[in-house]
Amino acid sequence: MNKFVEMSTFVSVVESLSFVGAAAKLGTSKSVVSQRVKMLEKRLGASLLERGPRLSPHGGGPAILSGVRAAA
């Protein structure tokens, strides 16, 4: 999987505050979005999102989010 795709998907999830919203924005399915975020987390060896009633950046998530936004 392309790191850029994984990171941009992560940003979309955070901006949408949901996997469903990110999927709609990216024109793909919720399961694809979830897989991309899981692959990024696996690649980095850290949880990036707090999954609960509301999604929010967690652990290294805020740093990744800032880095991706700065690179874009």
Q: Indicate the SS3 state at residue 56.
A: strand
For residue 11, the tally of other CB atoms under 10 A from its CB is 15
Q: Is the pLDDT of residue 42 over 80?
A: yes
| DSSP code at position 46 | S
E-assigned strand segments in 3-66: 49-50, 56-57
Band (pLDDT 50/70/90 cuts) for residue 70 is confident
Domains of the chain, start order: 3-71 (1.10.10.10)
The predicted pLDDT at position 72 comes to 58
What is the value of pTM for the model shown? Answer: 0.84
